[in-house]
């Protein structure tokens, strides 16, 4: 399985003599405070959400944990826990990220589902980037395809747009918004989330990130 291969590669990178040292390991963390948790245009909460995360990376290999409260009336659970691992890197103006994410809920199933994902990016200019991403759930047999672009007007303000489509009778969804960077650790984002099945919603988020080592 891809999950086991990636985990084995990370373990080898962490433990093999001469391949890596403690100085190569970086650990980052942060959290988001959002006015509404929205996924693929669908609300996962009826109010705000607190979404902490932590990630360890070594020479491109990474392992992370992301959490959020959810609404049990909407999702059948009052929290979501995502565990993910993968490998990311850059070649010139191209960037790539391949990995696996597993999703856990309190109800109705502790271990809900998982996706293999691949993200590709290209820096058209220093300010303008485009991206293409795929996420595949082998059990549900769907592919979630996403096109994205972002433009930075300066080092403080940027805009971004995203369009996605889920196969096998899924949904088309999109969002557009802007981000203001307060400093290198804190930013504020406002974005309109929508899809072809329900009414859209405007979401405001306060995002933080910082290095632990």
Over residues 70-93, the pLDDT tens digits come to 998 877 888 999 999 999 999 999
Q: What is the pTM of this model?
A: 0.85
**pLDDT tens per residue across span 29-40:** 999 999 999 999
When mean pLDDT is compared across 8-12, 42-46, 111-115, 174-178, the lowest value belongs to 8-12
Query: How far is it, in rounded angstroms, from Cα 143 to Cα 155?
Result: 34
> Reduced to 3 states, what is the DSSP secondary structure of residue 199?
coil
CA distance 121 to 186: 24
* pLDDT at 15 exceeding the cut of 70: no
* Residue with token string 């990370």: 10
Tell me the residue length of the chain: 213
Question: How confident is the model at residue 168, as a pLDDT?
Answer: 86
Q: Is the pLDDT of residue 178 over 90?
A: yes
Domains and CATH numbers, the chain: 2-211 (2.40.160.40)
Question: Taking the C-alpha atoms of 130, 170, 64 and 18 in order, what is their torsion angle to the nearest 10 degrees?
Answer: -70
Q: Specify the pLDDT at position 213.
A: 84
Residue 7 pLDDT class (50, 70, 90 cuts): very low
Region 141-163: what's the mean pLDDT?
97
Q: Which residues contact 131 (CB under 8 A, 6 or more apart)?
A: 119, 120, 121, 122, 146, 147, 148, 149
Return the higher-pLDDT residue of 14 and 158. Answer: 158
* Backbone φ and ψ of 196, nearest 5°: -90, 10
| Segment 83-107 mean pLDDT | 94
Residue 6 has pLDDT above 50, yes or no: no
Q: Which residues pair with 205 in a beta bridge?
A: 34, 189
Banded pLDDT at 47 (limits 50, 70, 90): very high
């Amino acid at each position: 399985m891809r999950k086991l291969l990636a985990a084995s590669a990370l373990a080898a990178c962490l433990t093999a003599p001469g391949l890596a040292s403690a100085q190569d390991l970086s650990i980052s963390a942060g959290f988001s405070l959002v006015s509404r948790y929205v996924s693929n245009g669908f609300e996962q909460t009826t109010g705000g959400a607190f979404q902490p995360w932590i990630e360890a990376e070594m020479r491109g290999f990474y392992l992370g944990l992301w959490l959020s409260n959810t609404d049990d009336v909407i999702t059948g659970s009052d929290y979501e826990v995502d565990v993910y691992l993968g490998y990311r890197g850059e070649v010139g103006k191209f960037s790539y990220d391949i990995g696996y994410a597993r999703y856990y809920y309190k109800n109705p199933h502790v271990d809900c589902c998982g996706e293999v994902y691949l993200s590709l990016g290209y820096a058209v200019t220093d300010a303008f980037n485009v991206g293409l991403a795929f996420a595949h759930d082998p059990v549900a047999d769907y592919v979630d395809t996403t096109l994205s672009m972002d433009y930075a007007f300066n080092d403080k303000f940027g805009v971004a747009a995203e369009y996605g489509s889920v196969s096998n009778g899924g949904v088309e969804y999109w969002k557009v918004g802007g981000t203001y960077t307060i400093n290198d650790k804190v930013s504020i984002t406002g974005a309109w989330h929508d899809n072809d099945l329900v009414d859209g919603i405007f979401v405001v988020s306060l995002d933080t990130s910082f290095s632990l080592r």
